[in-house]
Amino acid sequence: MQVIGFISNLAMPMMILLIVIYGIAEKSKIFDTFLEGAKEGLEIVFTIFPTLVGLFVAIGALRTSGIIDLIVHFITPILNIVKFPSEIMPLAMLRPISGNASMAIATDIMKNYGVDSIFGTMASVIMGSTETTLYTIALYTSCIKVKKTRFVLIAALIADIVGIAVSVVVCRIMS
């Protein structure tokens, strides 16, 4: 384990060293190139900042208003018919929207039911097999100024639904 820790600690400095050596070999102005990249990075941050603020406000409103709990309460009978645990539903609803909110919900699930419980396992598999779809699409499309995301959004949300459903099924089979 010490060897892996040593390699992990050296990974970033070695990567930086390799980039500098490559820049010297190519006879490019390394620091000027770095400054240009930093400037472009800041421009991207300022471009996507309004989108991020909007997403964070919407997610905060959803979590604090209790709308998610209300939705889960109303669809619990349907979830029971298809054998989908209602305890996982808040995670399934927020995972495509926000990584931070879904991480908080997954942590709550694990605190309440335990990490080795069926719900803890499902939460872990869902977190690993799905993406923060709306966040990612909003971020990337606002960065490159794409306005029509309908088909990308539909395909990505279908992939999230399949990932969540398969996570639940596989966890039930494996438990």
Mean pLDDT of the chain: 87
Sequence-ordered list of residues with C-beta below 8 angstroms from that of 67, at least 6 positions apart, any chain: none
Q: Where are the domains of the chain?
A: 48-174
**Dihedral over alpha carbons 106, 107, 108, 112 (to 10 degrees):** 100
> What pLDDT is recorded for position 167?
94
Residue in the block written with tokens 């598999």: 125
pLDDT tens sequence across 40-62: 988 888 887 887 788 778 777 87
* Nearest Cα residue to 126 out of 156, 102, 152: 102
What pLDDT is stored for residue 1 in this prediction? Answer: 67
CB 81 within 8 A of CB 67: no
Mean pLDDT along residues 138-163: 83
The share of the chain scoring above pLDDT 90, in percent, equals 36
Give the Cα separation of 30 and 24 in Å (integer): 8
Q: What average pLDDT does this structure show over 152-167?
A: 91
d(CA 102, CA 36): 35
| Nearest alpha-carbon partner for 102 in 75, 79, 136 | 136
Give me the pLDDT at residue 62, please: 77
pTM: 0.67
pLDDT tens digit sequence for 82-137: 889 999 999 999 898 888 888 888 998 999 999 999 999 999 999 999 988 887 88
